[in-house]
Homo-oligomer: A and B are copies of this chain.
């Protein structure tokens, strides 16, 4: 039984929310220069589509230049704001899909010290700092693999960065697919951290199975959730 992670993005302003359907609609309007043809293409009714455009504009501001009559009967062009809206939505979708496609490492531990939203967590692989939104004792720290940096050991001056969690380990696996490598680092017996890096970085740092590396990640990229409820 494997459940597939999914999501539906939206952008909200006041009562109205811009959905994927709206973006699809705006893109069709842009493609055809006509709400009528857009409605046809999408298999939607023109009256509702037109109504929706007005509704969005009432909430967000001008999104279209609609002309009635004239050459070709008229038409509808998107404003730069509308194009920006489409891009913003697409960025949101891409970033969210990053969550569902990038692997995540989970490390359990217990909170030893708190400071605001941050906390120090004692784990099998040593102490780490993470964001701990809820008041919790036993936690699981989750780190996205694309937030994990691999550092060559014995290279100096790594307190000169904002990366506070730097955990030495040994590479136990390297899987390369289409110029992107997923590197598994064992930071304690049976405790793994995954990192996705470019194939170029793997080559440059000479990473293969058995290599000593430091797996590093920012405190703000590590999120803890309570382990129990």
Question: Which A residues have a C-beta under 8 Å from some C-beta of B?
Answer: 1-13, 17-18, 27, 30, 60-61, 83, 85-88, 90-92, 94-96, 98-100, 102, 104, 106, 115-118, 129, 131, 133, 140, 142, 144-147, 149-152, 155-157, 159-164, 178-180, 195-198, 200-201, 204-205, 216, 218-221, 223, 225-227, 229
Contact = CB atoms under 8 A, between A and B. Distances in A.
B151 A160 contact: yes
20 contacts: A1-B13, A1-B61, A3-B11, A4-B11, A4-B12, A6-B11, A7-B7, A7-B8, A91-B104, A91-B142, A92-B99, A95-B142, A147-B218, A149-B163, A155-B161, A156-B156, A157-B157, A162-B195, A197-B220, A201-B219
A140 B91 contact: yes
The 3 A-B residue pairs whose C-beta atoms are closest, nearest first, are A116-B179, A155-B160, A3-B11
Taken together, the copies of this chain in the complex come to 2
A89 to B, nearest CB: 9
Chain A interface mostly: mixed
A13 B4 contact: yes
B198 A219 contact: yes
Contacts of A140: 87, 91
Contact of A223 (B7, B98, B147): B98
Given A118-B179, A229-B27, A164 B198 contact: yes
A160 B152 contact: yes
A180 B225 CA distance: 18
B221 A147 contact: yes
Contacts of A129: 198
A6 B17 CA distance: 9
A9 B86 CA distance: 21
